[in-house]
Structure 1
Amino acid sequence: MALASSALIAHTTDLELVIRHVLAGLGQGVHAGRERGAGVEFSEYRAYAPGDEWRRVDWKLLARADRYYVREAERDSHVAVWLLLDASASMAEPSRSIKGLDKLGYARTLLACIAAIAQRQGDAFGLALLSNGRVQFVPAARGPRQLQRVLARLQSVQAEGALPDAEALKSGLRFAGSPSLIFAATDFLDWPSSLSEALVRLRHMRHDVRAACLQTEAECTGGFDSGPAYRDPEQESAVFRFGADLREGYLRNREQHFAEVKASLRTHDVLHVDARIEQAPGEILRAWLRQGGRR
């Protein structure tokens, strides 16, 4: 199942197709904050999607159009969903077992699915891309057109350069005046970093901050080829060799690094999930969405 699901990510360029595959049967919202009751006004129709409540289907419109449509009539929950994507050069790290799959592609899929769930739930959602020393935004909005805007930007982004510096992130991430849900996909190879500082700052501002730490199977097990030399994609002058004699030290250093990452995230109440990109993304999404109940 994991192999088939991750292979689909690697072998299709259609994010909407991947979303439909991953979310089939997931049936879970980003949060439980939608309000119903007196004073709620009709906003729009949209096509029925698995998981929608049957009582919200417009049966008169079904008789005329011969298709199921749902009435969007929930009051705004005042919760915005923000997607943060680390698209620095290290996110181009490929899987050694699934051809065509890399960390950036896997992160795209996770965030695209969160966007689709937010759109279905009626929330405003936006996107922040961190790449090549810059922060690029898709401002938060609602509806199917917003989903298409977010998917298009996710599809086009490339992994390049380094993360924006602390000053650029500090000024760039002033996007949420009221408490928001923030989903950040990164590999946390740099720690501490401008991104880690930004996530902690956002949490101190009372946002619900959740991070997915993406790694490859080879990174987790030290399963790299010993022949070629490896160049750090974010520091071109740094070249490394990997062999059996270095594996034990690599794994020891890696364990220490991520122990420090997790300890700091716990200290600052930033929730996180660990994800190997060879895993089925639906498993990671379930864990990511369940985290909200722990506060």
Structure 2
Amino acid sequence: MAQTRDLDLVIRHVLAGLGHGIHAGRERGAGVEFSEYRAYAPGDEWRRVDWKLLARADRYFVREAERDSHVAVWLCLDATASMAEPSREINGVDKLWFARTMLACVAAIAQRQGDAFGLLICSGGKVEFVPASRGPRQLQRVLAALSRAQAEGGLPPEDVLKSSLHFARAPSMIFAASDFLDWPSPLSAALLRLRNMRHDVRLLTLRTQAEVDASFKSGGGYRDPERADGLHRMSNADRESYKQQSRAHFDGVAASCRQHNIVHYEARIEQPLSGVLRSWLRLAGARAK
């Protein structure tokens, strides 16, 4: 989180209720809510100088104010059972750890900008909801909810997720982290619905290096944690077919995102987290140009 201090969240689209496509959280300037004093600098408007403070301190100070942004930041965490898949190269790292740490960093950026931000966690067929708010206490609430998240069960039904999108009436940026092994799914339907409502949606697909190059132990048994459909074994002969099917699936996810103008970034959990975060946010900025 300490490496997010020079990162910003910038809205990519002209959304309903906004007259522009640039978002910088709470805007400094001549506003309605006092923020702080700062030393006068050449070019500042004289009407913003606090003359009473000048009389006391014998120095020029300018009153800063803030205007609330209309944009909220929403974090969406997939905490279903498949997100417990661990790295086979780095001990203690799994998809869920990577996803919630990424979203924690986005929350820290939103808090620093003065944005309202909230959280949805999909786990065990249910949705945990943290309403959007601002400030350090809200950051602590979101971090606590992220740290409690356990990878279990499947995604909530589509109607449950749809009923959880009541926040979508206001313009939002949505950051969703998942392995997206199921696509289409109730989660993908909800995210596409949000994009069709003209929200700025950004997806992070997480995979392990073993999933990418099929470097699973030969002859090992694997069971889908979200389905009771038996034990699967991978032989050397199965690897190429697995890689082709896997690549076709994630190419389909990427194609669907391009079709709906959704930012999509695919990463491996063995990559440096700060690098993935910067690439994800940079990709959104490049698309906005």
TM range (shorter): 0.7 to 0.9
**How much does 1:176 deviate?**
2.7
**How much does 1:73 deviate?**
4.1
The question of whether the paired residues in 2 share the 8 Å contact of 1:275 and 1:284 is answered with yes
Aligned to 1:201: 193
Task: Give the number of the structure whose alpha-carbon radius of gyration is greater.
Answer: 2
Q: 1:277 is matched with which residue: 266, 269, 275? A: 269
Aligned residues: 249
**How much does 1:43 deviate?**
4.8
2:132 counterpart of 1:153 = no
2:100 counterpart of 1:121 = no
Using a 3 Å threshold, how does the CA distance of structure 1 residues 73 and 154 change in structure 2: closer, same or farther?
farther
CA distance in 1: counterparts of 2:167 and 2:235, whole angstroms:
45
Aligned to 2:213: 221
SS in 1 for 2:67: coil
Q: TM-score, normalised by structure 2?
A: 0.82
CA distance in 2: counterparts of 1:179 and 1:166, whole angstroms:
22
**How much does 1:39 deviate?**
2.8
Using a 3 Å threshold, how does the CA distance of structure 1 residues 149 and 194 change in structure 2: closer, same or farther?
same
Amino acid of the residue matched to residue 8 of structure 2?
G
2:287 counterpart of 1:294 = yes
Q: 2:6 is matched with which residue: 11, 15, 27? A: 27
Q: 1:42 is matched with which residue: 29, 34, 45? A: 34
Using a 3 Å threshold, how does the CA distance of structure 1 residues 142 and 212 change in structure 2: closer, same or farther?
same
**How much does 1:282 deviate?**
1.2
2:228 counterpart of 1:236 = yes
CA distance in 2: counterparts of 1:142 and 1:78, whole angstroms:
12
The question of whether the paired residues in 1 share the 8 Å contact of 2:80 and 2:152 is answered with yes
The question of whether the paired residues in 2 share the 8 Å contact of 1:199 and 1:270 is answered with no
Aligned to 1:77: 69
CA distance in 2: counterparts of 1:106 and 1:39, whole angstroms:
39
CA distance in 2: counterparts of 1:275 and 1:230, whole angstroms:
22
> Higher RCO, 1 or 2 (CA under 8 Å, sep at least 6)?
1
Please, what is the CA RMSD of the aligned residues?
1.7
The question of whether the paired residues in 2 share the 8 Å contact of 1:74 and 1:122 is answered with no
Amino acid of the residue matched to residue 98 of structure 2?
Y
**How much does 1:44 deviate?**
7.8
SS in 2 for 1:96: coil
CA distance in 1: counterparts of 2:217 and 2:64, whole angstroms:
53
Using a 3 Å threshold, how does the CA distance of structure 1 residues 113 and 234 change in structure 2: closer, same or farther?
same
SS in 1 for 2:156: coil
Aligned to 1:97: 89
Query: What CA deviation, in whole Å up to 9, does each residue of 1:125-146 have, x standing for no partner?
Result: 0000000101110100000000
Question: Structure 1: where are the runs of 5+ without partners?
Answer: 1-18, 46-70
CA distance in 2: counterparts of 1:197 and 1:82, whole angstroms:
17
CA distance in 2: counterparts of 1:109 and 1:181, whole angstroms:
18
CA distance in 1: counterparts of 2:31 and 2:87, whole angstroms:
51
Identity of aligned residues (%): 61
Amino acid of the residue matched to residue 230 of structure 1?
Y
**How much does 1:72 deviate?**
8.3
CA distance in 2: counterparts of 1:152 and 1:39, whole angstroms:
33
Q: TM-score, normalised by structure 1?
A: 0.81
Question: Structure 2: where are the runs of 5+ without partners?
Answer: 11-22, 38-62
